Structure 1
Amino acid sequence: MKTNSLYPLFQVTDVEASARFYETHFGFARIFSSDWYIQLRATADHPFEIALIDQDHDSIPESTRGISTNVLLSLYVEDAAAEHERITASGLTVIQPLRDEVFGQRHFMLADPDGILIDVITPI
């Protein structure tokens, strides 16, 4: 199989609110938008993408509808400490404070509006 694109698609309760969260706090921009699906692309040097879909949309098999759970989105950044300061100053709640790990990462975690964990990481 030759894969042309790869991105996570998160099932969320409010597609618009979730999109605004990623646009406002993480610099993503919309590349496609409808009332039930929004695709976002990072505006940095690398064109990483995520997509959001209404958790109850009929394109999702009924038995698997609902918000995405137990998901951790890792974002590697130049300076996790600076991002921690920026995120904290914006009023978002950090659920794991900035810390250095013995395996070589400085990171912190927060959650998006539906509880998807976001791990902001800098290798050290």
Structure 2
Amino acid sequence: MQITASTVSLTVDDIAASHRFFTTHLGYVEQAAAEGFASLSRDDAAVDIVLLARGNEVLPAGQRDQHASGLILAFTSTGIEAEEQRLRTEGVEITMPLRDEPWGERLFQVTDPNGVIVQFVEWVTPSAPEHT
């Protein structure tokens, strides 16, 4: 098996709102769209995104009324300090400000209009532990 692309499907209440968020602020472009569906992608290594309207009949019956929650869509990139500032300037609410974790992870989060958490991560050399 050879995987040629990766896609995450997000079930949301307002496809248009998430579509605007991902295309306006995160550089995604629409690949296809129809009632209750939109497919978005980027030209880099980011995962493709399919937005499905909650209740859509293409979803298995047990999943039709579920909402994209309990997940974090994480993007590993460089220059996240500048990215956080750019998003702030564009009026995107930063729901977790930039922070450094002791294991070498720098991250911040935003949340799309449907509650989808998007996390930006940059890996740095962790700081040496303090000796006492």
Q: What TM-score results when the alignment is normalised by the length of structure 1? A: 0.90
The equivalent residue for 1:57 is 56
CA distance, structure 1, for counterparts of residue 81 and residue 96 of structure 2: 13
CA distance in 1, matches of 2:99, 2:89: 18
1:76 corresponds in structure 2 to 76
What is the DSSP-based 3-state SS (H/G/I as helix, E as strand, rest coil) of the residue aligned with 1:75? strand
- Contact residue 111 and residue 117 of structure 1 kept, 8 A: yes
Q: Report how far residue 119 of structure 1 moved.
A: 0.6
Checking the alignment, whether the CA contact within 8 Å between 2:12 and 2:67 is kept in structure 1 is yes
Asked whether the 8 Å contact 1:105–1:123 carries over to 2, the reply is yes
CA offset digits 1:36-91 (Å, max 9, x no partner): 11111113x33631110011101112322231110100011221100110111111
Identity score, percent = 26
Whether the 8 Å contact between 1:41 and 1:50 is mirrored in structure 2 is: yes
Task: Indicate the RMSD between aligned Cα atoms, in angstroms.
Answer: 1.6
Count of paired positions: 123
Tell me the residue number matched to 1:7: 7
What are the superposed Cα offsets for residues 2-60 of structure 1, whole Å, 9 maximum, x if unpaired? 544321100011112211110001000011111211111113x3363111001110111
Query: Contact 2:17–2:114 at 8 Å: present in 1 too?
Result: no
Partner of 1:117: 117
Corresponding residue of 1:48: 47
User: Under a length normalisation based on structure 2, what TM-score does the superposition of the two structures give?
Assistant: 0.85
Say which SS state the counterpart of residue 7 (structure 2) adopts: coil
Pair 1:118–1:58, CA change in 2 (3 A): same
Q: Give distance in 2, aligned partners of 1:4 and 1:99.
A: 33
Moved over 2 A (4+): 1-6, 45-48
